[in-house]
């Protein structure tokens, strides 16, 4: 059914497009991995060494069981994140796509600032920013994100990956968003926090710590440094302000598909 999708979107030739019949879908007796195994055998690679990303969200335990059982002469090795390592360094075109995604997410937040008011439902705010994210900016059209928008208001802001409800926005409380602009599958995530009212001194102090920490991290984002140098600069700055961050400070991004954009799934 989806072979035509390959023909329409991929550069590979017809001889490289393989498919399996609909009888394999949601079947208790047939599995698509057995069809893949037969293709591998037909290609003369039934005894090859095959790398498998065992920790991939796209590979179920059953899939690997069927694949390995169907290729008894093959040798399987774990190849977690092998493809990601190859994709870490971006081409100029990929960087252009990500810059376009960055323009889109900036426009999404501009719309958030226009509609975020006490009494407005969370779902209405998400609807507005989702429209901008789909329409895109200038010549950069908006693609669908690998993860839905995250939103946390008030006490819910303590949980980083909640989604919206129909609850109204309230005055005098924090509300954060984590969104991504997307263009041709390339993501640019951005998280921002809003406060509708007069923020406390603690919130203002946290804002300054985060801004200074981000600047310190960016100064370490130069060729030759390690990713951990950025994280240490960021968390170290927070610590000087009296704040502790024990969770991650970042992750690789770029091309992404559901269920998440982090790690370039």
Please check the confidence at residue 265 and state whether its pLDDT lies above 80: no
Domains, the chain, ordered by start: 3-80 (no CATH), 87-240 (3.90.230.10)
Q: Residue 223: which residues within 8 A CB-CB, separation 6 or more? A: none
Can you give the pLDDT at residue 185? 96
β-pair partners for 240: none
Can you give the pLDDT at residue 264? 54
Can you give the pLDDT at residue 36? 98
- Tell me what the pLDDT averaged over the chain comes to: 95
Please check the confidence at residue 9 and state whether its pLDDT lies above 60: yes
Please check the confidence at residue 149 and state whether its pLDDT lies above 60: yes
pLDDT in tens, 24-82: 999 999 999 999 999 999 999 999 999 999 998 889 999 999 999 999 999 999 999 89
Can you give the pLDDT at residue 61? 95
The confidence band for 12, taking pLDDT boundaries of 50, 70 and 90, is very high
Average pLDDT over residues 141-160: 96
Can you give the pLDDT at residue 180? 98
Can you give the pLDDT at residue 83? 87
The confidence band for 262, taking pLDDT boundaries of 50, 70 and 90, is confident
Nearest to 190 by CA among 265, 129, 115: 129
Distances (CA, A) of 199 to 106, 112, 122, 172, 175: 23, 19, 20, 7, 12
Instruction: Give me the DSSP letters along 186-220.
Output: EEEEEEEEEESS---HHHHHHHHHHHHHHHHHHHT
CA distance 5 to 20: 14
Please check the confidence at residue 85 and state whether its pLDDT lies above 90: no
Can you give the pLDDT at residue 8? 95
pLDDT in tens, 86-131: 888 999 999 999 999 999 999 999 999 999 999 999 999 999 999 9
pLDDT in tens, 174-219: 999 999 999 999 999 999 999 999 999 999 999 999 999 999 999 9
Please check the confidence at residue 1 and state whether its pLDDT lies above 90: no
């Amino acid at each position: 059914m989806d072979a035509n999708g390959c023909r329409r979107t991929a550069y590979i030739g017809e001889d490289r497009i393989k498919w399996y019949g609909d009888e394999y879908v949601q079947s208790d007796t047939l599995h698509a991995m057995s069809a893949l195994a037969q293709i591998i055998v037909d290609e003369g690679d039934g005894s090859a060494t095959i790398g498998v990303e065992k920790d991939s969200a796209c590979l179920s335990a059953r899939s690997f069981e069927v694949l390995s059982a169907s290729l008894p002469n093959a040798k399987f090795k774990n190849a977690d994140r092998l493809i990601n390592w190859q994709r870490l360094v971006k081409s100029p075109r990929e960087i252009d796509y990500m810059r376009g995604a960055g323009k889109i997410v900036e426009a999404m937040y501009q719309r958030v600032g226009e509609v975020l008011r006490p009494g407005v439902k969370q779902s209405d705010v998400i609807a507005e920013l989702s429209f901008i994210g789909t329409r895109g900016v200038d010549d950069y059209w908006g693609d669908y994100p690998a993860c839905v928008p995250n939103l946390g208001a008030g006490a819910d802001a303590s949980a980083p990956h909640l989604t919206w409800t129909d609850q109204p926005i309230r005055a005098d409380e924090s509300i954060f968003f984590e969104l991504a602009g997307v263009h041709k599958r390339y993501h640019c995530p951005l998280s921002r926090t809003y406060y509708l009212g007069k923020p406390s001194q603690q919130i203002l102090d946290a804002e300054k710590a985060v801004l200074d920490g981000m600047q310190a991290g960016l100064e370490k984002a130069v060729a030759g440094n390690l990713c951990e140098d950025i994280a240490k600069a960021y968390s170290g700055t927070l610590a000087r302000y009296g704040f502790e961050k024990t969770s991650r400070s970042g992750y690789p991004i770029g091309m992404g598909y559901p269920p998440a954009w982090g790690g370039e799934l």
